[in-house]
Structure formats: C-alpha cells, structure tokens
Amino acid sequence: MTSYLDYAATAPIRTEVIDSYAQDLRLLSQNPGNPNALHAAGRAAREMLEDARKRVADSLGADAAEVVFTSGATESNSLTVLGALKAAEEAGQTPVFLTDGLEHPAIAKLGDRCRENGGQVLIAKVDELGLIDTADVERLCSENQVSVAAFMAVSNEVGTIQPVKELAEIAHRHGVKHVHCDAAQAVGHIEVDFHEWGVESLAFSGHKIGAPGGIGVLLIKRAIAVVSDRIGGGQERSLRSGTQNVAGARALASALEIADATRAEETSLMLQLRAQLIAGLDPRATVTKVGQTSPHIVHLTLPTEHPEVILMMMDQAGVAVSAASACAAGVPRPSAALLAMGRSEAEAMGALRVSLGWDSTSEDIAAFLAALGSALDAAARFEKGRN
C-alpha cells in the first residue's frame, strides 16, 4: 500500500464528494439537460450549476457573478493573463506582464507567450526565504505601465505564503488595473478571501482540494477587461465557451465547503505530522528555510544531483513524493524557484517536496523516514559510479 505524500500534485477525491458526485451524475443521467437549454430539463441543470456557483462564491468571499467555471487553475491562469495582455494590445498599448521567479509553469510560460507576441516581461526578485520582494514590485510598477501582474498565494514548491493583499495594494497604487493570483496551493489550506485580498482575478483547481480532476474556477471581477480566445456559445461570461460540467462544478463546491469546515482540524494534523517528519529526518537531509509556510508542504534539500534516483527508490518502497526540480525529456533540471531564492545549482537539483493532506497518517511519515536513508544511499552509489 502506497504512503501518498504528494497532495500538492493532486489529492484523492474526498469520500463525501464521491457520494454527492455520484448522486448528481445519476440525477443528470436520468434527467439529462444542457444548462443552457430553455426547456425544463435544461433549467433544472442550470439551477444545479448556479447553486454550485453561489456556494463557491460564499466560500471564497466573492460574488456569484464573479465565479467562472473552467477545467482547472492552468486554464484559469491562461484565460485571465493572456486575456488581459490581449486587451492591452487591442487598446493600443504594449503588453507588460509582471510576475516573479517563484511562479508555477502555468504562469511562467505565459511570460514566454507575452515576449513572443512583442510584449515585455518583468520579473520581481524574491528573497532567500522565498518571499516576493515587495520593494522590487513597487519599483517595477512605478517604472513601467504594467498591464497585468500575477503572483502565487502559496509557492507550489517551497510552500511560502505570499503577502497577496500587500502586493495588490502596491500594484494598484501605481496604476496597475489587473492583479491576478494563482491560488492553487492556497485554497483549502489557508483562508482565501477574494474581496479582502483586493485582486482582480484568482485561479484554483478542484483536484487539489478533493474534487475530481477537470474542474476549476476563475474568480474575476465583472469590470475587468480580458479578451478570451475561447470562441463559441458565450458561456461563462463569454470567457469560457462550451457546455459546463454541472456535476463537476457541484463536486468542487462540496469539496471546498468540506475543506473550509475541516481546515482547523486538518491544519492541526498536518502540523503534527510535519513535526514528526522533521524530528526523524536523516541528518543528510535539511528542511529548506523559508518564510511563513502553508502547513501542507515540507520542502527538503538533499545531498544529490540525481533526484530521479531518490524518487525511484522511494517509489519502490511504496512512498509517493515529488522532486521540486523540473524534468525535461528525462533530464533533471535545477528548480527555477530555488535558483531565484539564491540557492546554488546543486541545492536546486537536490530538492524534495513532501506534501500532506487530510488522509495522511503517522504511518505514512514513518514509511517516508524509513525509505529516505536507503534512497540517499542509492543516490550516493549512483553518483559515485558516474564519477
């Protein structure tokens, strides 16, 4: 049986969500209706969809009209950032995209697209603790006409909680009209309040909080100008055309409500497991020093430049974790986030992420700790054989 410690990649569907999801699927199968149709069956499906929309809004401090259902955070990020850059271009401006060195590829690669289309990309500095440098954000916003700024609420690699509200205030003070937040690792783990944070848009995925894959949300204020490339029937405020996933939207709403109701209890569990992990850690491994972190992510630095060996050995031992370094065509690459934090290339190669969830147990941590020593030994032998 696998000790699953990779919740930041995806989480199991919550048992309660499976039950309600199955019930909705049966109902929609017995009474099929497109939520955009005008007949009774369509109106019933629309009522189910709008109920989910309101529940999501209520959980996140938003208005129902600000909730757009998508396939997940990646699509939500793309829709809003590229849409904002396109709107700037159509207004006769040079698109300018501000982000930072910690971002997930779902945001970072949008910068590549911006450059390809003749726009400018500004990268704010981060400090050694993984916090975005607010002074540098202020400088970049004051010196440039930024079209859209995008920041993660919680780093997907090291777990640092970013000062989203402060970053939004700085950007707005210098005339930035659109601040976007990738909250994929925040929703369900820390309190998220869309209006309180003051951002114009926010993205997250259902599969990170116990809903099925393929459903996500983009919160976006009504007055924000974005140009969508999703051409079709104009569903979801003409931002994401196509027939909506009614059962998926309701499953996401249920998972979100459960996560909110159980957050305090689950946070306590994760902090206990985190303490157990750190106390029993092999002395060759170190906990990466970062700022305030989300309780579900523990980031480790290991003395190896071959994280794939560590992962293979952990997998053989029945433990699922992730390397924080990227892998392209089977070739390990150093973590861009750790490099941005000023770590050496060797440190950025030997990064391991352990991420916890509501079903994580003390036995899972014990299995990880037992497997780590052997995995480090195997990596050392592998590196010695290559030298």
**Which residues carry out catalysis?**
327
Contact 106, 100 (CB under 8 A): no
Note the residue count of the chain: 387
The pair of three-digit structure tokens given for residue 281, joined into one six-digit string: 């850690």
List, in sequence order, the alpha helices (H) in 181-306. Answer: 194-197, 246-279
Q: How many CA atoms lie within 13 A of 382 on its CB side?
A: 16
Q: Give Cα 206 to chain centroid, integer Å.
A: 10
The pair of three-digit structure tokens given for residue 45, joined into one six-digit string: 């499906």
The pair of three-digit structure tokens given for residue 201, joined into one six-digit string: 């848009």
Of 181, 191, 189, give the one whose Cα is nearest residue 217.
181
Residues 22, 326: Cα–Cα separation, whole Å: 36
Residues 124, 77: Cα–Cα separation, whole Å: 18
H or E segment to which residue 179 belongs = strand 179-182
Ramachandran quadrant class, 367 (left: phi over 0; alpha: psi -120 to 50; beta: rest): alpha
171 SS3 class = helix
